[in-house]
Amino acid sequence: MWPRRKKWSLVLGAAFSLWLMGQASVDAAPLTADVTRIYGTTRIETAIRISQEGWNEANTVLLARYDDFPDSLVAVPLSKRYDAPILLTPSRGLDEGVLAEIKRLNAQHVILLGGTGVMGNPVTKALEKEGLTWERIGGADRYETAVMVAERLGGNGQVILTSGENFPDALAIGPYAGMTETPLLLTKAKGLPEATRLKLEELGAYRLNQEAESVTRTTVIGGEKAVSSEVVAGLTGMTRISGDNRYDTAAKVFWFTQEEFGQDFASENQRSFLVTGENFPDALVTGALAVKQNAYLFMSYKEDLPAVTYSALGNAAAAQLLVTIIGGDTVLSERVKGIVEGTIQPPYLLAGLTIVVDPGHGGKDVGAVGASGSYEKNSTLPVGLNLADLLRQAGAKVVMTRTGDTSPAGADYTELKDLQARVKIANQIPADLYVSIHNDAFSNPEAGGVTTYISADNPKAEEGRKLASAVQQELIKQVGLQDRKVKTANFYVIKNTTMPAILVELGFISNPVEEKLITDPEFQKKSALGIYRGILIHRGY
Mean pLDDT, residues 126-146 taken together:
95
Enter the pTM of the model. 0.76
The more confidently predicted of residues 524 and 238 is 524
CB 323 within 8 A of CB 272: yes
For residue 216, the tally of other CB atoms under 10 A from its CB is 23
With the C-alpha atoms ordered 369, 375, 381, 382, is the resulting torsion angle positive or negative? Answer: negative
In tens, the pLDDT along 368-407 reads 999 899 999 999 999 999 999 999 989 999 999 999 999 9
The average pLDDT across 300-318 equals: 88
342 or 357, higher pLDDT: 357
Q: Which pLDDT band holds residue 508 (cuts at 50, 70, 90)?
A: very high
Q: What are 235's strand-pairing partners?
A: 206
Tell whether the model's pLDDT for residue 211 goes beyond 80: no
Q: Residues 169-176: what's their mean pLDDT? A: 95
What is the predicted pLDDT for the residue at 266?
55
Does the pLDDT of residue 208 top 80, yes or no?
A: no
pLDDT at 160 over 90: yes
- Which of 119-133, 172-186, 237-251, 267-281 is predicted least confidently? 267-281
Q: What is the pLDDT of residue 474?
A: 95
CA torsion, points 143, 149, 154, 157, in degrees to nearest 10?
-50
Cite the beta strand spans of 367-412 per DSSP E.
Answer: 397-400
Name all domains of the chain by residue range, CATH numbers in brackets.
26-341 (no CATH), 354-538 (3.40.630.40)
Q: Is residue 267 very low, low, confident or very high in pLDDT (cuts 50, 70, 90)?
A: low
pLDDT for the residue 263: 52
Which strands make up the sheet holding 483-488, listed edge to edge?
Answer: 397-400, 354-359, 433-440, 501-508, 450-454, 483-488
To the nearest 10 degrees (0 to 180), the angle between helices 12-21 and 415-428 is: 50
Alpha helix segments (H runs only) across 39-120: 43-54, 75-82, 96-104
